[in-house]
Amino acid sequence: MPLVIGVDSSTQSTKVEVRDLDSGELVSSGRAAHPSTGVAPVSETNPNDWISAFNSALEQAGSPKPAAISVAGQQHGLVTLDAQNKVVRNAKLWNDTQSAADAKWCVDQRGDAWWAEHVGSVPVASFTVAKLSWLKRVEPQNWAQVARICLPHDFLSWHLRGGGSNEITTDRGDASGTGYWSPKLGKYDNEVLNLIDAKRDWSNALPRVATPLEQTGTWQNAVIGCGTGDNMAGALGIGLSPGDVAISLGTSGTVYAISDKPTNDPSAAVAGFADATGAFLPLVCTLNATKVFDSFANILNCDLKQFGELALTSSPGANELVLLPYLDGERTPNLPDARAMLIGLNSSHKRNDVARAAIEGVVCGLLDGLAAITNCGVNTSGRIFLLGGGSQSPAVCQIVADLTGKQVNTLNEPEIVALGAARQAAAALTGKWPTWSASSRIAAQPIATTEQSNAARQKFADARLKTYGV
């Protein structure tokens, strides 16, 4: 039976899934952790560590001989190569916020509306364009050595093709998260690039953007798909349809939906990304998701299961206790220097209220992002899918259902990004998207009243406005 491999190279680990080409059935899998990426605001790694993790995960999966392979990777990260195709410095990852000042500088040069129109998104610290500016400003000696620039998934796909002088390719989904590629026009924006460095010859520095079903090379006789960003692969794994909404709670929090036309949001809340199929994927990302649950479980001296059980014994709205969950700064809203704040605490509050406030704070931030996507004219009236580690918590599922007033679905596949990459590999091999994708189940129905959910969300919005002015 022909096999396909989907690779998910995330912030913390690499996952490999081997699937049957025809049925999509999981045959084997493997996982290997990445080294620590540092302490905020720094988040860096040696790109060669991704290769080592891939090799380890592949070995765990039985070192199969597939017919096709595709790589999904964490978005935005900056990988730099010199003229000898050697890594210049450690990759700056999406959650490295040292480039916050550079993102502001970029925006100040042209204004929010200009950026939204040109590249679909207003730069924040996570975007690659801000990291380019940081590198040129802070490390001019390294900047002078840079000959080629790529993203994490581009680097791994290039490695599969043999590295060295081989072509580096990317795809429209991941390219749309750089801040210098236009989803609307489908090409790099030279005005943006020259803003970063007008003296650099950009013509050979950036990856070629492959088409969605393109075969970009071979690895061990297997066809290599073009790969994509992790959020785009997640949409592929779900089989997301117009109207559907995906809410992911993992290292970061994301909410996204499918759009048939490009979006631009001058407020900078919504990133107007492309997807991996030829459509578009407007997305909102937050820095603080499940780590908030980890931190508060530790504070409350309980494990995550107990933390969730505690939260469900409090009432919707956590008895008017509000957490602004910005432990390590925040991307949306753009508050890179913010820290978490517990607001409204009084002598009547108990541990369960704190637990519920922690979950509600994370979810409210993401639902504000969903509202911003809807305000861009995107249909978000369909199903809600909850993804990531947070989706394993009954409490999180219930609180999402309560705060949205809608049924919440979770997926029966634990590695949705790897599944999406496997679907892309199959499509590259056959020339058409496979019919298989993740199956789902109902995880929660709303039990809070509309008045309760509206009050909780309003309390959160009011606290954020009063504290941070946004």
> How does pLDDT run across 346-366, given as a tens digit for each residue?
999 999 999 999 999 999 999
The answer to whether 284 and 373 have CB atoms below 8 angstroms apart is yes
Residue 193 confidence class, pLDDT cut points 50, 70, 90:
very high
- What value, to the nearest 5°, has the Cα angle with vertex 71 and ends 234 and 163? 160
CATH number at residue 191: 3.30.420.40
Strands 280-286 and 253-257: antiparallel
Count helices and strands (H / E) in the chain. Answer: 15, 24
- What whole-number distance in Å separates Cα of residue 412 and Cα of residue 85? 41
For residue 371, pLDDT over 90 is answered with yes
pLDDT of residue 336: 83
Q: Is pLDDT of 1 > 80?
A: no
Active site residue 230: yes
Per the domain annotation, does 9 fall within a domain? yes
pTM beyond cutoff 0.85: yes
Taking 80 as the threshold, does the pLDDT of residue 425 lie above it? yes
Average pLDDT on 69-81 reads 97
Residue 114 above 80 pLDDT? Answer: yes
What domain range is 223 assigned to?
3-231
The answer on pLDDT for 117 being more than 90 is: yes
In a domain? residue 176: yes
The mean pLDDT of 196-209, rounded to a whole number, is 96
pLDDT at 252: 81
* CA separation, residue 108 to residues 103, 115, 123, 124, 126 (Å): 9, 10, 10, 12, 17
Q: pLDDT value at position 169?
A: 98
- C-alpha separations of 421 from 44, 194, 229 in Å: 24, 33, 9
Phi-psi region of 133 (alpha: psi -120 to 50; beta: other; left: phi over 0): alpha
Reply yes or no: is the peptide bond before residue 41 cis, omega within 30 of 0: yes
Q: Is the pLDDT of residue 40 over 80?
A: yes
> Stretch 142-164: mean pLDDT, rounded?
98
Q: Is residue 169 part of a domain?
A: yes
DSSP string for 151-207: -HHHHHHHHHTTSTTSPPEEEHHHHTTSSSEETTTTEE-HHHHHHH-TTS--TTTS-
Give a yes or no: residue 106 inside a domain: yes
Name the pairing type of β-strands 384-387 and 341-343. unpaired
Per the domain annotation, does 409 fall within a domain?
no
Q: Work out how many domains the chain is built from and give that number.
A: 1
Q: Is the pLDDT at 328 greater than 90, yes or no? A: no
What integer pLDDT is reported at residue 38 of this predicted model?
92
Task: Report if residue 216 sits inside a domain.
Answer: yes
3-state secondary structure string across 118-140? HHCCCCCCCCHHHHHHHHHHHCH
Q: How confident is the model at residue 331 (pLDDT cuts 50, 70, 90)?
A: confident
Task: Specify the DSSP element, H or E, that contains 457.
Answer: helix 450-468
Q: Average pLDDT, whole number, for the chain?
A: 96
Phi then psi dihedrals of residue 431, to 5 deg: 85, 5
pLDDT in tens, 399-423: 999 999 999 999 999 899 999 999 9
CB 273, CB 280: distance < 8 Å = yes
Helices 351-375 and 304-312 pack at an angle, to 10 degrees, of 80
Residue 251 has pLDDT above 80, yes or no: no
pLDDT of 309 above 80 = yes
Query: Which residue of the set 102, 154, 171, 230 is catalytic?
Result: 230
**pLDDT the model gives residue 45:** 97
In the predicted model, is pLDDT for residue 266 greater than 90? no
Q: What is the mean pLDDT of residues 308-315?
A: 98
Is 449 within a domain? no
Does residue 462 form part of some domain? no
Tokens representing residue 433 in the block: 């998207």
Mean pLDDT, rounded, for 440-459: 97
What is the pLDDT at residue 267? 85
Average pLDDT value for residue range 4-17: 96
Amino acid at 420: G
Model confidence at 398, in pLDDT bands (50, 70, 90)? very high
Whole-angstrom Cα distance, residue 112 to residue 65? 48
Query: Is the pLDDT assigned to residue 199 strictly greater than 90?
Result: yes
**What pLDDT shows up at residue 186?**
96
